Amino acid sequence: MKLKIGSVTNPKIILFTPYFKQNRGNATTARRLIKGLKLWNASIRVFAYEEEEWNSEWDAFFLEADIYHVIHLKRFSQWLKRYPHLSLRKPYILTSGGTDVNEDLKNPDAVHLMMSVADESCGITVFSEDGKNKIVQTYPELADRIYVIPQSVDFPNRENQPSTVEPKGGYPRFLLPAGLRPVKDVLYVVDELKTLRDIWSELTFTIIGPVLDEDVYQQVLKYEKTHEWFRYIKEIPLEQMIPVYQSCDFVLNTSVSEGQSSAVLEAMALEKPVIARMNSGNASVISDGTTGVLFDTPQQFYIKAQELLASKDKQKRMLEQAKMYINEHHSLEKEMEQLFGVYEHCLSKASV
């Protein structure tokens, strides 16, 4: 399928993402958008501005591009300040995920910085209505250019991919896929899991994700050394995560805040029960007791996890509902159809 807007056929796009090599949420979003945009035969170049160095070759690509697509408002704003010769005179779209909406908007300096790129954008995409509302509360003048596009679930090379790791054995096996940083709060319910072992003596807990904060990493290592049922595994490629999900029994999310967790959506798509901490991002995809479990406190986690463990029928109903929800609301095709509308708006506006 060709993307043709006005006089622009198969537009040249530069996708700016903070991360692409490291297995983080922004990288997952970028890879998914690339796959979807290629369905339109668009010409796409990806620049990971936290991992790569800008050079004269990129200057040329920048001038040739028809449109820019930027992931993460604050990080991009900080990066752009280092290159004052780069002028965003072409239409550009911003995609806001989690941290820049849920955490950075609390900081007045970050708000001012983010406005420097948001003000001239032709479209801003967010994953949920809550994300839109938070931006509008801070920047009411941007309300008419914000589009809610839930992210989709798309595994690269989904056919059987070998994995070099798997969660620690036993039953039940709890898995928490998350980078080690404070906002993910990965040890939030570890004491409750330890207490659950009084009933489920073979319970195990595995965390998989990159080291993004040294203090959190040291806390995790310390716990691992003193608890044989706990395991930490550094990041692995997304294509190897399918067998990891399949070999676990429950997937956890303990984040203080989320935009919309790819790991939660992936687990639901692969029919694994999700037990997630209550925050706006998790609540945007989980209906408590229907498509997953939401909890507010560690004590509530203990009660709800125990109830879920005790009922295979409840688990089965939850998995069926979660799978139906993902198929209906989080397909790549639906996400790209909605994104196409934003591109159409931006490119049409630029051609007038």
Long-range contacts of 159-164 (CB under 8 A, 24+ apart): 160/242, 160/243, 161/239, 161/240, 161/242, 161/243, 162/240, 162/243, 163/236, 163/240, 163/241, 163/242, 163/243, 163/244, 164/236, 164/240
Q: How far apart are alpha carbons 274 and 300 in whole angstroms?
A: 15
Compute the C-alpha angle 220/222/227, nearest 5°: 90
The amino acid that residue 164 corresponds to is T
Cα within 13 Å of Cα(261), Cβ side: 33
Residue 98 is classified by DSSP as S
CATH topology identical between 4-151+331-351 and 173-329:
yes
- The 3-state DSSP class for residue 322 equals helix
Average pLDDT, consecutive stretches of 10 residues, N- to C-terminus, the chain (352 residues): 54 93 84 85 91 96 94 90 91 82 68 78 90 86 92 71 67 95 96 96 95 97 96 86 92 93 93 96 94 98 96 95 94 90 84 54
CATH of domain 173-329: 3.40.50.2000
pLDDT confidence of residue 1 = 47
- β-pairing, 12-17 with 8-9? unpaired
Cβ contacts of 64 within 8 Å, gap of 6 or more: 12
pLDDT confidence of residue 164 = 62
Residue owning tokens 């036993």: 170
Per CATH, domain 4-151+331-351 is 2.40.30.10: no
Structural contact between residues 257 and 106, judged by C-beta atoms closer than 8 angstroms: no
pLDDT confidence of residue 131 = 85
Cα–Cα distance list, 192 to 85, 228, 263, 277, 288 (Å): 53, 16, 22, 14, 20
Ranges of each domain in the chain:
4-151+331-351, 173-329
